[in-house]
Amino acid sequence: MKSNPGSNPLHGRRACVLRSISVFGSLRQAARAARPTSAVVLLTALLTLTACAETANPERTVTATGEGVVEIAPDMATVRLAVVSTAQEADEARRANEAAAARLIEAMRELEIPERLIRAQAIRLHPRWDYDDESGRYREVGFEATREVSITVHELQVLPEVIARAVGEGADRIYSVTYGVRDRDAVREEALRDAAGKARRKAEVLADSYGESLGPVRAIREERFSFPGVPYRLLEDDFAGRGAGGDIVPEAYAPGEIEVTAQIEVEFVLE
């Protein structure tokens, strides 16, 4: 909590007094000379006195922060995997990789994954090297073609089958499975409302402790918002999400909950 009484009121009053003396001195001179500008000088004096009154009574405020937290179960997941093909010739490796990637994508279609949720990147093709103990040098032994594919799943109950089919149809590496929420805006709004309520309650407690009461809101600032994904990285033994007997194990992909946080700062006028 921060109290914002403004600048030092003693300094403000001293400056106002000096300005008032100067203005009234001009007013007396104008009056003696019977100048028509005396009305303007009088108006300036009145404005100066008003400013002095405001400076002597600065607006009192209290500032409090609030952090809202929402825990929500994910309703989507993104799988990042790769198809890797090797061959003696570069073109051979490329063709093998294209065929394996096509099988994988077709398998996803059979699982009714929409085309817009399947994204295949361009093929990366590079030589493969092996160390020759006799010559003490590396020698080229062929080519490797790699294509990354990301698959977004909106029905989490099919996630284990998606991974198992992907591995069975050509995926050689699975980098990660990241869980998320489709309607991020709704969750963010809920976290912000929670943060706003906590900031107000904190300000009320602080104001009441000093015998004050809260007035209207003077300013609101959003300071931080965190919406982390929940990554799940597969180990080699769990590569296809299958148990010892080869059956799919859905429990291996239990996502838990995502914790969304929002932090705001609110400044209230004290009454």
The enclosing domain of 82 has a CATH number of: 3.30.70.2970
pTM of the model: 0.65
CA dihedral 46→38→21→52, nearest 10 degrees, is: 10
Rounded to whole angstroms, the Cα distance separating 25 from 20 reads 8
* Chain centre to alpha carbon of residue 259: 12
Q: Are residues 91 and 32 in the same domain?
A: no
Same domain? For 70 and 190 the reply is yes
List, for residues 206-259, the tens digit of each pLDDT value.
Answer: 999 999 999 999 999 999 999 887 666 554 444 444 444 445 555 566 778 899
Q: Are residues 54 and 86 in the same domain?
A: no
Q: What is the three-class DSSP state of 53?
A: helix
Of the residues 113, 146, 179, which one is the last residue of a structural domain?
179
Same domain assignment for residues 115 and 67: no
List of residues 6+ apart from 90 with CB closer than 8 A: 125, 143, 145
Output the domain CATH number for residue 252.
3.30.110.170
114 and 137 in a single domain? The answer is yes
In sequence order, which residues have a C-beta less than 8 Å from that of residue 50 and are 6 or more positions away? none
The residue among 40 and 57 whose pLDDT is bigger is: 57
Q: Are 168 and 97 in contact (CB under 8 A)?
A: no
What does the alpha-carbon distance between residue 240 and residue 234 come to, in Å, rounded to a whole number? 9
Q: Are 116 and 152 contained in the same domain?
A: yes
Residue found under tokens 């003077």:
218
Same structural domain, 80 and 169 = yes
Query: In this prediction, what percent of the chain has a pLDDT beyond 90?
Result: 58
Q: Which domain holds residue 252?
A: 60-74+181-271
DSSP 51: H
Half-sphere exposure of 200 (CA within 13 A, CB side): 11
On the 0-12 / 13-18 / 19+ scale of CB atoms within 10 A, 165 is buried
**Is residue 95 helix, strand or coil?**
helix
Final residue of a structural domain among 179, 198, 229: 179
User: Quick one: 189 and 169 in the same domain?
Assistant: no
Instruction: Determine contact, residues 93/144, Cβ cutoff 8 Å.
Output: yes
Which tens digit of pLDDT belongs to each residue from 82-121?
A: 999 999 999 999 999 999 999 999 999 999 999 999 999 9
H/E stretch holding 189 reads helix 184-209
Q: In terms of Cα–Cα distance, which of 62, 89, 36 is closest to 200?
A: 62
